Amino acid sequence: MSIAITGANGQLGSLIIKQLLQKVSADQIIACVRNTEKANEFREQGVEVRFCDYDQPESLDQAFAGVTKLLLISSSNQDDTIRFRQHAHVLEAAKKMKVKHLLFTSFAFLGSGSISPSHLYLATEHAILTTGIPHTFLRNALYTDFVGVLGLNDAIAAGELSTYPGDWKFNTVMRSDLALGIAAVLSESGHENKTYELTAPRPWTFNDLTKALSELAGKPVSLRQDPLIQNWIYGFLGKTDTSSTSSDLERLIGDPIIPLKESIKPFITF
Ligand SMILES: NC(=O)c1ccc[n+]([C@@H]2O[C@H](COP(=O)([O-])OP(=O)(O)OC[C@H]3O[C@@H](n4cnc5c(N)ncnc54)[C@H](OP(=O)(O)O)[C@@H]3O)[C@@H](O)[C@H]2O)c1
């Protein structure tokens, strides 16, 4: 069996390969990357590296030759129309090269989203169904990293976190937990034609965030709702389902996911 991962040089892809190396032998893993010069660490660990550019269909045929399981990590292009074309190139090559199982990193609780990326992820899932290849949709929650744009360090300095009014709830997770769950799916059998909502099992709120900030800072940080706040993130958050939860990720990992307080430490710089 050979398992190929696209976008392998990226943050999620490299974490998945790290976890996969704990579960299968290195010679079963193929890292598909756009920049092969950046992939020496994989080679040093015995992982085969293949050139793979979603914009160059001929590179994809070569990258997927002999592959049993292919994980398509969604493209990071900013234009969702281009992303769809890139994903379609991958699907065409997967079909041509007779890949046996196609897995895709989609987005959690897609149905209620009304932003362009939600349409892109749903369109890609439907396009995957047209290939007839057994599939697994790995619907990833929003990365907890989004807290990086909320001004956590300023909030600690001011003793107050300002947020846009609303009953916000977040099912976010860290990439490292997603990588554990996805590596489990890639290395096990029995996940064909399944959809997993890889979210936190319980949502957290901005009250939980200020509590965690207070504990980490060793001083009180209160929450203030401010309707005049200027932050693009609320436009995005308001149009995606960040509150629905599932136990799929913890079940796949077999352990609790990283708690909020631990997750936000990398974004605090004191
Ligand atoms: N759930 C969320 O909150 C969330 C947030 C942001 C993004 N995402 C999605 O999740 C994906 C994985 O996240 P990540 O953190 O690992 O992102 P990342 O670190 O930006 O990695 C994306 C990877 O995709 C590769 N890539 C981009 N264009 C490509 C192309 N034309 N052909 C082949 N490979 C290409 C990049 O290659 P290079 O290394 O050569 O640049 C990179 O390795 C993203 O690409 C995005 O679709 C999810």
Question: Would you place residue 113 in the very low, low, confident or very high pLDDT band (cuts 50, 70, 90)?
Answer: confident
Beta bridge partner(s), residue 163: 225
Ligand 1 site, residue 69, Cβ cutoff 6 A: no
Q: What is the pLDDT of residue 227?
A: 96
Q: How confident is the model at residue 20 (pLDDT cuts 50, 70, 90)?
A: very high
Beta carbons of 54 and 75 less than 8 angstroms apart: yes
- Please state the domain count of the chain: 1
Measured in Å, residue 74 CA sits from the centre of ligand 1 at 6
Does ligand 1 have an atom closer than 6 angstroms to the CB of 143? Answer: yes
CA distance 103 to 158: 45
What is the 9 CA–ligand 1 centroid distance (Å)? 9
CA distance 160 to 224: 7
pLDDT in tens, 58-104: 999 999 999 999 999 999 999 999 999 999 999 999 999 999 999 99
What's the domain range around 126?
3-267
Residue count (the chain): 270
**CATH code for the domain in which residue 168 is found:** 3.40.50.720
At 231-245, the pLDDT tens digits run 999 999 999 999 999
- Confidence (pLDDT) at 60: 98
Cβ atoms of 104 and 128 within 8 Å: the answer is yes
